[in-house]
Every structure is written in structure tokens, then in C-alpha cells.
Amino acid sequence: MNGCVEYANVAARSSLGLAPGERVGLPDSDPLTWLSWVAHRRIRTVVDRDGTQRTIIVASVDRIVDERSNVRLAGTSVQATQLREAIAAAGITTEPVLVSGETGTGKESVARAVHESARLSAPSFETVASKSLSVAALNRRLEVRSSTGSIGTFFLDDVDALTRAVQRRLAQAIAQDEVRPRLMASTRVDIEASVESGVFDRELFFRLNAIPLHVSPLRERPGDVAPLAEAVIRSCNARSAKRRVETIAPDALDVMATHGFPGNARELESIVERAWHACRGKRIRLDHLPEALTRPSRRTRKSVTERVDEDALEGLEREFLLRVLADNDWRLGTVALELSVSRTTLWRRLRRLRIPNPRRGRA
């Protein structure tokens, strides 16, 4: 087969931007999409009734657009390329992985990409907020995993938030092989400095840091802004049967490239999703971007190098969701379908962002 995709189903062709009847071509035509589908085991070789062998892409739109790794791992910079190579290498083992990076860089997406590319990976991927984990809760999880034979990935978000008691218990669990087959964790702080200052357990750090993966902030790789934005547009297009945006105007892209994105890939996603929704043509223009980007104040420019403000990011997400709700007359079933999430997930977002529903009982 020489690695050539000979046939792609409707969902795959839509994500690739192929016209009906257009040849799919070699993976070089879109290496990111190809790598993502390979990693998610969506490429299959099948034999037709007449004995013809061909490769098809088995893809569901929900899976493609719901997994942020497809977007956040985009990029052509040296850092992005090296990270994808490191993810592929990490997939062939079950050693613990420690993903570091600033807020919004996509650390959980990286962990999921490792999990789903691992040859020995089980389907389950359990994310646990470290700040809410007690020793008793950790023991219960370990007992359940042991009794049920669950061998999926156990991902600790913001592992630096663990109490010292939980740190010591976790280090013991790793040493005694109680977390099988995979433990992954993320941190947004300089955890080595925390070890030196005595805040973080040294033994746990060495055990978690078997495979270190670092996600560079977006301001250090401005060349990735364009491919990341294009990946978000493809994701938005795949979610909607009503609208298709093809590109971003050069002047709008120039503004985005100089923004710096203190919120990293998460902020970029929110901005492009809002612009996509505001766009009624084929191209996202400068006036589709938030005013904070097109008319940055002195305070905004200064904040590029400062720590991301979580409230600001939530504000972007809230504004985007309000626009989608308004466009769909607050019909939650329709909104959930357009965003490719369940109604339960949508309700959780509404509660988290403190968005009331004036159509309650009629959605």
C-alpha cells in the first residue's frame, strides 16, 4: 500500500477539505491529520468481495472534533515536531510520563495522544484533579483498578498540587507497581525547583519523570499560530453541516501572530472558534476577531509575558457559547449537536460559566 490512503469516508474527506471525487493522495499532503489518524488507529486495510485490497479511514466526526489533541498538537515549528516525535516514542513503553507546560498549552492533549498511540494502551483514560485527591481517595482508586483489572491510563492533572502525604503514598504505589500499566501527570510549575525547595517529594519526582515531555508556550513558536488556527477551522467545519470557512485573511493572521497568546493554544482555540462563528463567508476577516486583538491596549501588550488569567479565558469561552446559543435560539439539543458534546456536558459548561437558560423546559 506504500502508506497511501486510497479511500476516505465522508467525515474524513470533510476534515481534509476534499471536494467530491478529489484524490486523497499521500500522507505528505497533510502530515498532521495523517499522524493523528494513525495515532488513533483510524486507518484500516480491508478486502472487498472481489478480493481488492484497499486502505480506508474509519473516522467519526464526534471523535475527530471532540479530541483537542488534533488541534493542540498542530504546528510546523521545531518544538511541535519534536514533541510529536517524543509522543510517538513514548507510546511504545508504559513508563510514567510527566508533561510540563504553561496553562492552556494542551498538556492533557499530549497525555491522551501518548495513551492512544501506545501499543499496550487500554481504552480507559482517567483524569484526576490532584488538588482534590486525598490519601483515602487514592487508595480507593488503586483498589478499584486492581479489583476490576482496569489497566488504562491514570492521569494526574497539576501533580504539584498533591499534598505531601499523597505524594509519599503515590511514590510507594509506583514502586510497588500498583498503578498499571500507565501513570501520567502534568505540571505547570518548575517542579525541579519545588523538589530542591522541599515542596515536592524527590522520590516521586524521579519516578514520574521517567519520560519528560515539555509543551512550549505559543509565544515561543509564533510560526505555529497559522497551522493551529487552520486546525481549529477544520475542526469547526467538521462540526457543522451549515457553514464552511476556508481560510483566515492575511491581515487577521498577522494580528494573531503578534498577539503572543498568554492563554496559549486554549486561548487561540477560543478566539478562532468565535471568529468562525461570526464569519458568514469563506474567510475570517480582521473584524471577526475580538477587539482586544485588533486594538490592544498598553495593558494588554504588557500582559503577553504575564501568567494567563483564567477568568479572561473563561470570559472568551462564555462569549463564544452565548453566541452559539443565540444563533440556535437556545435549543440545547441543537447546540449540543453542533458542538459535538452531550447535553450533560453542555449543561455542565452552562453551570460552570454561570449562563442561565431562559428557555428552560422548552429546549
* Whole-number Cα distances in Å, 180 to 141, 145, 187, 212: 12, 8, 21, 19
Domains of the chain: 7-60 (no CATH), 70-216 (3.40.50.300), 219-327 (1.10.8.60)
Confidence of residue 129 (pLDDT cuts 50, 70, 90): very high
Q: Which of 168-182, 204-218, 345-359 has the lowest mean pLDDT?
A: 345-359
pLDDT of residue 92: 84
pLDDT of 217 reads 93
pLDDT score of 66: 36
Q: Among 98-112, 265-279, 347-361, which is the least confidently predicted range?
A: 347-361
Considering the chain, what is the average pLDDT of its residues? 77
CB 82 within 8 A of CB 4: no
pLDDT digits (tens, 9 = 90+) for 225-277: 999 999 999 888 888 877 889 999 999 998 998 888 999 999 999 999 999 99
Burial of 150 (0-12, 13-18, 19+ CB in 10 A): middle
Contact call for residues 312 and 263 (beta carbons, < 8 A): yes
What per-residue confidence (pLDDT) applies to 304? 42
Whether residue 128 is predicted with pLDDT greater than 80 in this model: the reply is: yes
Residue 211 or 43, more confident: 211
Spell out the long-range contacts of 209-212 with Cβ–Cβ below 8 A and sequence spacing 24 or more. 209/96, 209/98, 210/95, 210/96, 210/97, 210/98, 211/86, 211/90, 211/93, 211/95, 211/96, 211/97, 211/98, 212/97, 212/98, 212/100
Locate 26 and state its grid cell.
Answer: 499521500
pLDDT tens string 72-102:
788 889 999 999 999 989 988 889 999 999 9
- What's at 307, amino acid-wise? R
Residue 54 sits at φ, ψ, to 5 deg, of -150, 160
Residues 6+ apart with CB under 8 A from 280: none
pLDDT value at 8 more than 90: no
Distance CA 89, CA 80 (A): 14
Q: Which grid cell is 333? A: 439539543
Q: Which of 141, 216, 147, 135 is nearest to 183 (CA)?
A: 141
